Structure 1
Amino acid sequence: MNKNEIHVIYGSDSRKMTYEILEKIELIKELNVDMQIGIKPNLVVAKPAKEGATTSPSIVEGVIQYLQNHGCKNISIMEGSWVGDNTKRAFKVCGYEEIAKKYNVPLYDLKEDTSIVKKVRDLDLHVCKKPLQVDFLINIPVLKAHCQTLMTCALKNLKGCIPDKEKRRFHALGLTKPIGYLAKAIPMGLIIVDGMAGDLTFEEGGNPVQMDRVIVGKDPVLMDTYAASLLGYTKEDIEYIGVAENMGVGSSNLAMAKIQEYDAQLKKSSDFKPSNKVRYLTKKVIAQSACSACYGSLVHALQRLDERDLLQKIKKPIYIGQDFQGKELQGIGIGRCTSKCMQSVPGCPPTAADIIKELERN
C-alpha cells in the first residue's frame, strides 16, 4: 500500500469492515509475524464508543483478529487518556478489558510509562517509550470535532502518547505547532480512522453522527486532509495539518490521492457538518493555552446552563488557560490557573458541576 492511497469501506458492522479492508490492502505483506505491533486507539475519556468520543472496540477487535489469523502474536494496546481522566477506567468502560482477555493482548496505560526526549527542530518533545519501542504502530483515531482545533483525527490522536505534563505544555505552546511536530517524533505504520459515529460537536462525545465508514491509509497528513474535507474544512482550517506537512510528515495533496471505496452502495451522505455549537456556548469565554480537560468541563457546564436558559444571564467574561496564571482579572476564572481572578473555580481540571455552581451566581 502506497502513502498516497486512501481506502474507505462503508457499512454498519465495524469489526467485519475492518477485517475486510485489511485483507483488501494485504497488510500482512508489510509485516513480519515476529514484529511487536502496537495499537493506539482514542480513549480520551471513559465513555462508550456509541457516544462519539472513543474508538470502537469492534474496530480494534477486527484488527487483532486479522493480525492473529495471519500469525502475528506480539500485539499490544496502548493509550493515555486526557489530563484529569483515568486510562484504566477508560479501558474498562470502553470494552477494552474484555478484548484484552479474549485475545490475550496486554493493555498499557501510557500515563504510567516512562518518557524520553525526542528533539524535533526547535522543540524537545517528551514522548512515552512504549509507542517508540514497537516495530509497527497502528493509529486508530475517531473522526470527530474538537473545541479548540475544530477537528481531531490521525495527527492529534498521537497526543495520547505523551505524559500528562507534556500534554499541558502542548496547550501552553498553542497546540498547533507541537501536534504537527509530534508526528515526526512518533512513526506510524498504518492509520485506521473510526468514522462510524463521531461527535461532530465536541470531542468528549454525547452528540454522535452516524457516518458508517472505516478509512485506512498510511499518510497522517493526507488522512487528516481527507477527514477535514468530509467535515467541510480545508487543510488551512486545521492549522496543524500544514505544520506537519512542512515538517515532511506527509502530503495534503488530495488531488493526487488514490481513493478506493468498497461497498459504496451503503454510503451515507457525506454532508457531515459540525454544529458550531461550542462556538455559540463559549461567546463570553477568553481562552489562552487552556487544557482540553479543563475546557471540556467548561463547555459541559455552559451547555447545561443553556438548556436551562441561563446562559444569557452570564454577563462577566470567563477566563480559562495557563496564560492567566497570577493575573488579577475582573471576571470568572475556570481552573487552578485563574485563581487570581475576581471569582474562580478551583481544580485541575474543575468539574462541570462546580463550574455550574459558580456561574449560577452571576
Structure 2
Amino acid sequence: MRDHDIIVIYGKQIRNMAYEICMQAGLKDMILGKCASFEARIVLKPNLLGPVPASEGATTHPEIVEGVIRYLQEAGFRNLSVCEGSWVGDRTDDALLVCGYDTMLKRLGVPFVDLQKDKSRLVDCAGMNIRICEEPLSADFLINLPVMKGHCQTRMTCALKNMKGCIPNPEKRRFHQIGLFEPIGHLSAGLHQDFILTDSICSDLTFEDGGNPVVQNRIFAAADPVLNDAYCLQLMHLDETEVPYIRIAEQCGVGTADLSRASVRILTEKRGERGEACYYEKAECPPEGPAHNQTEAKTAGLIRVSELVHEVDSCSACYGRLVPVLRELEDEGVPVDRLRGICIGQGFRGKGGRLGIGSCTSGFEKSLPGCPPEEEKMKHWLRQLVEKLTDE
C-alpha cells in the first residue's frame, strides 16, 4: 500500500472485511518492508473510550481487531499486542469487558496493555513536547484502528485524534487546557502510525460517546493518517476549517491533506457460489440517504443546546455527556433554556458562579459533583434544577 492509497470495503461480514482489507493493502509486505522480520513488535490501537458497545457508534468493533489479528497470525507474525487508555473518568478495564475485547484477546492469545497504567516519557513532536505512553512508542509497526465519528469539541475524530488515547490522563487534561487542535496536530509527528484501518460500520456522526449510530457498513484503510482524516471530512460533509488539526498535522510533516493526490479503490462484499464472502472492485458507494439527513438534524439540535453552555477547558468526557443530556431533556419538553450560562471545565476551578457541572465548579452556588458526573445523575439533577428555577 502506498502513502496516497485509500482502500474502501462495503459489507456486513465485519471480521472478513478486516481480513480482506489487510490482504488488499499488502499489510504483510508493508511490515516486512519496514521491519524485515517476522519478530517485529506490532501494536494495535483501537478506540475504547469507555464502556460503550461498538453498536452504539463510539468504539471499534472487536470483529475488526480480530480480523486484523487473524491475518497477522496467519502471515507468521506472533509478537502482537493491543493497547488503549480510555478517556478521563472511565476505566479501561470496564471498556475492555463491555466492548467484548477481553474474551476475544484471550482466545487469540494476544496481550492487552492498559495505557492508563503504562509508563510514559516526553517526546519532541515537531517542536511540541508531549508525554506519550511507552507501549505504543515501543512498536516497530503501529496499527491504528479508529472510529470515524463526530466529536463534541473537535467536530470529528478519526486517525489523528485516536492517538490521544496513547497519552496518560494528566497529559489528556493538559491537552484540554492548552486547546485540543494544536497538540493533536503535533502528536502524530512523535508517534508514527504505519497503517490505519478505520471503523465506519455504524459510527455516531454527532458525538464521540455514541448513542446515535448511523449504519454505513464500511471500513477503509490508509497509510497516511492526514490523508485518511481528510477523506473522513469528505465523507462527513465537513469543511477543513472545522477540523484545523488536520492541516496542523500536515504542517508538522505527518502527511498530506490533498485528496486530489489520493487513489481510492472501492470494493463491495458479495456472496460467492458456495456462499462465502467475496469482494469485487469498482462498486459504487451506497448513497448517504435518510440516515445522513437524520444525523444532520440531530447535529443541528446538539449545536443549539451547546450554545446554552459556557465551556472553558473542559474534558471531553464531561462536556460530551452534558450536551446530549440537554438535548434529551429538550426532546422531553423540559425548558432547558432556563439553564443558559451553565458552566463546565477546568477553567472554573477555584472560581464562583451560579450553575456548574463537574468537580471543577465546586465553588458555584449550584454544582453537580463528579469527574465526570454520571449521565443519569446529571439528567436527574438538571431536570430538578429546571423545576426549581421555574418556581423561583
| Alignment of 1:87 onto 2:92 | yes
Q: How does 1:246-265 map to 2 (within 5 A)?
A: 246-263=251-268, 265=283
Matching residue's letter, 1:321: G
Counterpart-to-counterpart distance in 1, 2:142 and 2:303: 35
Counterpart-to-counterpart distance in 2, 1:294 and 1:71: 43
Task: Map Cα deviations across residues 158-193 of structure 1 (whole Å, 9 max, x no partner).
Answer: 011011111111111111011111111111110000
Counterpart-to-counterpart distance in 1, 2:336 and 2:372: 24
For the structure 1 residues 231 and 321, does the alpha-carbon distance in structure 2 shift closer, same or farther, using more than 3 Å as the test?
A: same
SS in 2 for 1:297: helix
Task: Map Cα deviations across residues 62-104 of structure 1 (whole Å, 9 max, x no partner).
Answer: 1011000110011111000000111111111111112111110
Which residue of the partner structure matches residue 141 of structure 1?
146
Report if aligned partners of 1:142, 1:198 keep a CA contact under 8 Å in 2. yes
SS in 2 for 1:184: helix
SS in 1 for 2:241: coil
Matching residue's letter, 1:286: H
Q: Which of these residues, 302, 306, 314, is aligned with residue 338 of structure 2? A: 314
Which residue of the partner structure matches residue 30 of structure 1?
30
Matching residue's letter, 2:10: Y
Which residue of the partner structure matches residue 271 of structure 2?
none
Task: Map Cα deviations across residues 204-263 of structure 1 (whole Å, 9 max, x no partner).
Answer: 111110111111001111100000110101222211111111111110000111111112
Q: How does 1:41-60 map to 2 (within 5 A)?
A: 41-60=46-65
Counterpart-to-counterpart distance in 1, 2:355 and 2:379: 12
| Alignment of 1:159 onto 2:184 | no
RMSD over aligned Cα, in angstroms?
1.5
Which residue of the partner structure matches residue 364 of structure 2?
341
SS in 2 for 1:46: coil
Report if aligned partners of 2:125, 2:188 keep a CA contact under 8 Å in 1. no
Q: Which of these residues, 321, 335, 356, is aligned with residue 297 of structure 1? A: 321
Report if aligned partners of 1:302, 1:311 keep a CA contact under 8 Å in 2. no
| Alignment of 1:352 onto 2:375 | yes
SS in 1 for 2:213: coil
Shift of 1:299: 2.3
Counterpart-to-counterpart distance in 2, 1:45 and 1:306: 25
Shift of 1:122: 4.5
Shift of 1:335: 1.1
Report if aligned partners of 2:160, 2:229 keep a CA contact under 8 Å in 1. yes
Matching residue's letter, 2:147: V
Matching residue's letter, 1:198: S
Shift of 1:267: 3.7
Shift of 1:286: 1.1
Counterpart-to-counterpart distance in 2, 1:105 and 1:18: 17
| Alignment of 1:222 onto 2:227 | yes
TM-score normalized with structure 2 length: 0.89
Which residue of the partner structure matches residue 303 of structure 2?
279
Counterpart-to-counterpart distance in 2, 1:200 and 1:26: 30
Which residue of the partner structure matches residue 191 of structure 1?
196
For the structure 1 residues 248 and 317, does the alpha-carbon distance in structure 2 shift closer, same or farther, using more than 3 Å as the test?
A: same
Task: Map Cα deviations across residues 309-339 of structure 1 (whole Å, 9 max, x no partner).
Answer: 114352441111111222222x311112122
- Which has the higher mean CA deviation after the structures are superposed, 76-85 or 235-244? 235-244
Report if aligned partners of 2:312, 2:345 keep a CA contact under 8 Å in 1. yes
Report if aligned partners of 2:309, 2:340 keep a CA contact under 8 Å in 1. no
Q: Which of these residues, 234, 239, 243, is aligned with residue 234 of structure 1? A: 239
| Alignment of 1:100 onto 2:105 | yes
* Structure 2: gaps (5+ residues): 32-36, 269-281, 387-392
| Alignment of 1:173 onto 2:178 | yes
For the structure 1 residues 149 and 54, does the alpha-carbon distance in structure 2 shift closer, same or farther, using more than 3 Å as the test?
A: same
Which residue of the partner structure matches residue 204 of structure 1?
209
Aligned length: 361
* Structure 1: gaps (5+ residues): none
Structure 1 segments (4+ residues) deviating >4 Å: none
Q: Which of these residues, 320, 324, 336, is aligned with residue 348 of structure 2? A: 324
Report if aligned partners of 2:126, 2:190 keep a CA contact under 8 Å in 1. no
| Alignment of 1:268 onto 2:291 | no
SS in 2 for 1:260: strand
Counterpart-to-counterpart distance in 2, 1:256 and 1:300: 38
Counterpart-to-counterpart distance in 2, 1:333 and 1:342: 8
Matching residue's letter, 2:371: C
Report if aligned partners of 2:226, 2:257 keep a CA contact under 8 Å in 1. yes
Counterpart-to-counterpart distance in 1, 2:4 and 2:177: 33
Counterpart-to-counterpart distance in 2, 1:333 and 1:123: 33
Report if aligned partners of 1:225, 1:234 keep a CA contact under 8 Å in 2. no
- Which has the higher mean CA deviation after the structures are superposed, 152-161 or 266-275? 266-275
Counterpart-to-counterpart distance in 1, 2:74 and 2:341: 57
SS in 2 for 1:187: coil
Shift of 1:266: 7.3
Which residue of the partner structure matches residue 13 of structure 1?
13
